[in-house]
Each structure stands twice: as C-alpha cells, then as structure tokens.
Amino acid sequence: MSAKVDITFTVNGAVKQVSVPANMSALDMLRDQLDLKGAKEACGEGECGACTIIIDDTSVCSCLMYAADCDGRTIETIEGVQTEDGLDPIQQAFVEHGAVQCGYCTPGMVMQAKHMLNKNPNPTEGEIQRGLEGNVCRCTGYRKIIDAVAEVARS
Amino acid sequence: MSTIENYLAPSSIDDAAAALAAGSATIVAGGTDLMLQAGSGQKEYAPTLINIQKITEMRGVSLDGDTIRIGALTTITDLLTDEIIAEHLPVMATMADKFASDQIRNAGTVGGNICNASPAGDGIVPLLMYKAEAVLASKPNGSTETRKVPLDEFFTGPGKSVIQENELLIGVDIAVPPAGFVGGFGKFGPRPALEIAMAAVGLGGVVKDGVISDVRVAFGAVAPTPIRSAETEAALEGKKLDETTISAAGEIASSSISPITDIRASDWYRRHLIRVMTEEILNDVS
C-alpha cells in the first residue's frame, strides 16, 4: 500500500479534504472517494479524453494526473457545469443536436468543448475539430458533436 | 507493483535537490508518461515520489543575454503561445502543434518529454536541432550545483540518459540562433493527433542568397535515441539549396539511419519518411 497524502482542493466550488494513496489517479479519487462518477475511464492512457476535467482553467486527462497533485488547485468536473438555471449552453446544444448516442464520451466532450470555448470563443470548424481531437466517440457521432459546439460558439 | 513509501512536493529546486540527495526517488511532473508506465508495470516507483509541479521557478521561458532557458516544467501548451519561443525558436511551436492532444499538451512538460527519453520523443527533435543543453541540478555536498550536458550527449538508450539518481533536470539552455536561421519540424503518423511518430525530422540553418550554413539536422523514431545526423549536416553545409542538393541530402538522410521494423512502421518506410520530410523542410526554407 502506497503512502497516503492529505490534500485540500476545490471541486465544483466546494472545498474538499481527502487522504489519497500517492499512486492514485485524480480520476479514481473523483469517482471512488468523492463519488463524482461523471468523468469516465475508457482507455486509461490519455488517448480517449473520456476522463477530461478542467483544473486551474486548463483541461487534462484525469486518468494520467496524480490525485496528490490536485492539492491547492481548483477543479471543475461535469457535475459542476449545470447551474440552478438549468443545463450549460454546451449541454443544451448537445441535447438539441442529438450529439449524445451511448453517452460515455459526453462528459469528456463537454468539458473539453468548454475549455476550448473559454480559450477561443469563436472557433472555425477546423479549430473545433482540433480542439476535440483528444476525445474519441466510439459511436462516431462526431458530426453532431461538432455542430453542437459550433452552435454554442455562434450564440 | 512497487509501493511509494514517501511523497514529497517541494517548492524550490534547492529542496528538490536535497530530497534527491537523501535517497532513491522517482520524479513526477505532468505525469502523462509516468502514470502509464507505472500502471503497466513498465516502470517501478522508487521508495520516494517527488512531485516537482510546485517549483514555480522551473516553469516558463526566459532570455538572459544570448541564452534562452526553457524551464523543465514549461508545458507543451506554453510553447504554443510564448513570445520568446515565437521570436527565436519557432520550430518548438511547430513541434508543439503536432504533439498529442490539447489535454496532453496542457499537462505534459518539456522536461518530462526529455527525461522520458523516448526514441520518438517529439520535443527532443527540435531541441537537438537548436543545440540545446540540459541543465541538471544536484546537492552532493550541502549546496546546490548545476552542470550542463549537450542534448546530443544526453541520451544513452530507450528510456535512458546520463542523468544521475541525485540529479534534477531544471531546464534546457539554447543559444539564440544566428540571424537568418530558418528551420522546420516534420512528424508522420496515421493521423495528426495523438500519434507516436513513425519518424520525425528537425532541420534548420542560416539561409543566405540561397546557400545554407550552420546546418543542424535531427531525427526521431529511427534509432534507439533521438539523434543528430552529422552526415546530412555535412551534405548540406555551405551548399546552394537547389534541386540537386536537396535530393542528395534526402538520399543521405535516408541511408545514414538504421531504423527498426516494428508495429508502427517498417525499416523501409521509416527511411522513406525521413527522405520525404527532409526534402520537404529543405524546400520550405529554400
């Protein structure tokens, strides 16, 4: 059993204190210790983007990040995207465009789209494709996902 | 799987060097390679895991006189937007644009890419082209010392380098390239994103009146380590960049290497890619 590390960080606006094994990934901590099961593990190798979270305003694959490295940082997961007013505009556009098929890639797609639009509010279609190139949809519903993100950028 | 007995997150180079002097340790920065390799059993953790991400003095690009320092914790994403990189080392930004995906570029660091010592490490190829030197810190006798190792003497095999157990890579130093220096980076894989290169080329030199000099050529994924190609450099040095020179350089580039055949590409295909990308970059800069 690896050494435990006590960490304090902010997730979706709430301060959390947890004790994590030094070798644990941020994804396993979110899912197993904080019961935030929105971020998914698919490849576990950084190839698919299903585990994408936003940390200190930048998107990362949480499966390749050490949980201990979350100490002192600010994390946003898919669970924090929806507000009291309803779905985030990106989520709403995914619904309206039918951009969700099996749904497994959707949390990662939404988080990466959110990060991309924060950096570049008016992307071209090519820039949307580049921005989402680290996210795999095995239902291959890319057309509708790209259309959904493009609509958010337009509105 | 090996267990981690001790976790440290120092906030200065001095503290990290002291921790390394105290005993065997594994260093983690972005984690994108280490998490994978430790998870698959390819790499074992030392008893102490040192997370160096809090050492803010190791992140970013700075210019001191004629020397550019790229801090080891500079992320690949940082290279895309940094003004010093854009002005003096634009091929580093070209490389960053072809590196993995946004999520990996946001986490992965220049220092991690070097220390992972992959034969196909994208970042290493343009660094070799720019004659970068690794800056290593250690604390052998109670005070922190640094030494510099030219990057073309740094790698000793796949995943291996001259870095000692008590040393920390704090950055790379690069002399500001001479006026008129132009270069390029080429990488090939089945798709643009998230590919481990089948082959990569970094090539640059000073082009004046159609003649190239001060030529530097580096290849990735065609040898046990990323390499500089002295033969290709010699074939180009002082030559007029016409069709004959470019074609001859492509031929020498492809015959000077001994790549392996593996799941990504055959020996023949890697030689072909090296020839094509070498000629493409030369056509671009001529």
Residue B191 — very low, low, confident or very high, per pLDDT cuts 50/70/90?
Answer: confident
Task: Please tell us whether the domain made up of B59-175 is placed in CATH 4.10.95.10.
Answer: no
Its domain, for residue A33, covers: 4-80
Mean pLDDT of B111-138: 98
CB atoms near residue B105 (< 10 Å): 23
CA gap B123, B76 in Å, rounded: 8
Task: Specify whether A109 is located in the same domain as A47.
Answer: no
Same domain, A74 and A111: no
User: pLDDT tens digits, residue range B2-47?
Assistant: 789 999 999 999 999 999 999 999 999 999 999 999 999 999 999 9
Contact criterion met (CB below 8 Å) for A25 and A65 = yes
Per-residue pLDDT reduced to its tens digit, B153-181 = 999 999 999 999 999 999 999 999 999 99
Cα–Cα dist B141/B139, whole Å = 6
Secondary structure of residue B51 in the 3-state scheme: strand
Is residue A41 domain-shared with residue A61, that is, in the same domain? yes
C-alpha count within 13 angstroms, C-beta hemisphere, residue B91 = 33
Instruction: Give me the pLDDT at residue B1, please.
Output: 52
Place of tokens 């947890």: A18
* Token representation of residue A26: 């941020």
Note whether A101 and A138 are same-domain residues. Answer: yes
ipTM: 0.97
Q: Are residues A8 and A75 in the same domain?
A: yes
- When scoring B99, B103, B113, B196 by the number of chain A Cβ atoms within 10 A, the one with the most, hence best to mutate, is B103
B9·A3 Cβ contact <8 A? no
Q: Give yes or no: residues A95 and A72 share one domain.
A: no
What does DSSP say about strands B168-175 and A4-11: parallel, antiparallel, or unpaired? unpaired
| Residue-level pLDDT at B278 | 98
Average pLDDT value over all residues in chain B: 97
Residues A108 and A75 in one domain: no
Note the pLDDT of residue B192. 81
- Residue that is last in its domain, among A17, A45, A80: A80
Q: Which one of B32, B51, B55, B101 makes the best mutation probe of the A interface by having the most chain A beta carbons within 10 Å?
A: B101
Q: How many domains would you assign to chain A?
A: 2
Q: What is the pLDDT of residue B46?
A: 96
pLDDT at A50 over 60: yes
Predicted pLDDT of residue B67:
98
Instruction: Name the token pair of A85.
Output: 């007013």
- Per-residue confidence band for B57, with pLDDT thresholds at 50, 70 and 90: very high
Whether residues A73 and A9 share a domain: the answer is yes
Query: Could you tell me the CATH number of the domain that includes residue A50?
Result: 3.10.20.30
Fold of B6-51: 3.30.43
Residue A40, chain B, CB below 8 Å: the answer is no
Is 80 exceeded by the pLDDT of residue B122?
yes
Domain boundary among the residues A80, A114, A143 is at A80
Q: Do A53 and A116 sit in the same domain of this protein?
A: no
Match 């949390």 to its residue by tokens.
Answer: A107
| In chain B, where the domains are located | 6-51, 59-175, 181-285
DSSP, collapsed to helix, strand or coil, labels residue B244 as helix
- Indicate if the pLDDT at residue B97 is higher than 90: yes
Q: Is the pLDDT of residue A148 over 60?
A: yes
Q: What would the pLDDT profile of B236-282 be if each residue is shown by its tens digit?
A: 999 999 999 999 999 999 999 999 999 999 999 999 999 999 999 99
pLDDT band at residue B205 under the 50/70/90 scheme: very high
Distance from CA of A69 to the nearest CA of B (A): 7
Residues counted in chain A: 155
B195 in reach of chain A (CB within 8 A): no
**Token pair for B193:** 């994103």
**Is B39 part of the contact surface with chain A (CB cutoff 8 Å)?**
yes
Same fold, B6-51 and B59-175: no
Residues A67 and A98 in one domain: no
Q: Are A116 and A128 in contact (CB under 8 A)?
A: yes
* Average of per-residue pLDDT across A73-87: 95
- Topology at the third CATH level for domain B181-285: Enolase-like; domain 1 (3.30.390)
What CATH number has the domain bearing residue A123? 1.10.150.120
